[in-house]
Amino acid sequence: MSRVGGALARRIVEVARTTETPEELLASVGLSPGVGGLEAAREMVEAEAFFGLIERATDLEDHALPFRYAEAFGVDDLGAFGLAFKTASDLREALGRLVRYILVLSDTLDYELVEEVEGASLVMTRPHHRRGAQLANECALAASMSALRQIGGSNVTPTEVSFQHGAPSSTAEHWAFFGCPVRFDQPTNRLRFDDSTLRIRSRLADEGLSAYLLTKLDDLHRAERAPSIADRAFRTVTDSLPDGLPTKFDVARRLGLSERTLHRRLAEEGESFRAITKRARREAAESLLADGRNSLAEVAFLTGFGDQSAFQRAFKAWTGQTPLAFRESARTK
């Protein structure tokens, strides 16, 4: 299941405007108040819970939450990653480090630095299937801009910002924060910069410290290696089963991809959507049956089947056993 660093969730709670207390908001994602230091640095929150937190933290007419979040965001909050970002030689190098090490913060994000004729774009891929995910995407690009301004100066400005989701009822806050045109219903989430901006020197550039920090981050990066697209699709299918068997289109949308791109990337990994769906249903069914707390009808429902008889036929085809026989054998192990 995709996760987000607990520090990001705590920052959302700090800038929330809601009738719920901070303690209630933290509890909604399994976090406790008063946690700090190394313990807080290790906290992780499931992505869908994080999106739900954002939805609870603001009402429909509060369009400024991403920018309150960005203004409260400090590069120093990010530990070794933040230091490596600050000590890059210029903004282009800082963005390159963001792309490489973003998994230290969240495995829901996929960044790419795309070179262009007169500059480059930071392109972000993440689902935008619900309001909380859309606001999370705005938070991510706004926080990226805040980080760049912290190391390059308050005048750092992109030439254009785009989001995949539709425009909110007011975009004045977006234009004021980014200082450039902000477009919605676009093919990608993107911050576009010209060459002169990318060449701005970091005010804390430090080659020696930077080299040391990159070594540490490479160790973390290997530990947090990005899951394959097949793994991400498998998790998404598994998470969706209680609501019915998802289509390839549904899963692609949740992953922030087109259906064609999902098909192509799965094929590159030697996988198919049909095989992933079958494996997700079988593993979920075996886990639920072994647990023993759900009836066969409930297991059928939780694995995306419309009725128990269809589930029983499929399970026997997968395993050579009926669901009841599998449950009985699991009890004796």
What pLDDT sits at residue 230?
86
Question: How many other CB atoms sit within 10 Å of the CB of residue 122?
Answer: 24
What pLDDT sits at residue 5?
80
Does pLDDT of 214 surpass 70? Answer: no
What pLDDT sits at residue 87?
78
Rounded Cα distance, 146 and 160, in Å: 15
What pLDDT sits at residue 259?
85
- Residue 140 exposed, middle or buried by CB count within 10 Å (0-12, 13-18, 19+): buried
* Every domain of the chain and the residues it spans: 61-223, 229-331
What pLDDT sits at residue 206?
56
Integer-rounded Cα Rg, in Å, for the chain is 22
What pLDDT sits at residue 209?
52
With H, G, I as helix, E, B as strand and everything else as coil, classify residue 207: helix
Mean per-residue pLDDT for 305-309? 87
Rounded Cα distance, 204 and 73, in Å: 18
CATH superfamily of 229-331: Homeodomain-like (1.10.10.60)
Does pLDDT of 79 surpass 70? Answer: no
Computed over every residue of the chain, the mean pLDDT equals 84
CB of 2 closer than 8 Å to CB of 46: yes
Helix axes of 6-14 and 65-72: crossing angle, nearest 10 degrees: 110
With H, G, I as helix, E, B as strand and everything else as coil, classify residue 190: strand
Token reading at 22: 């901070």
Mean per-residue pLDDT for 188-202? 94
What pLDDT sits at residue 26?
93
pLDDT-derived band at 174, boundaries 50, 70, 90 = very high
Token pair 């450039």 in the structure block, residue = 180
Rounded Cα distance, 104 and 221, in Å: 7
What pLDDT sits at residue 216?
53
Does pLDDT of 116 surpass 70? Answer: yes
What pLDDT sits at residue 260?
86
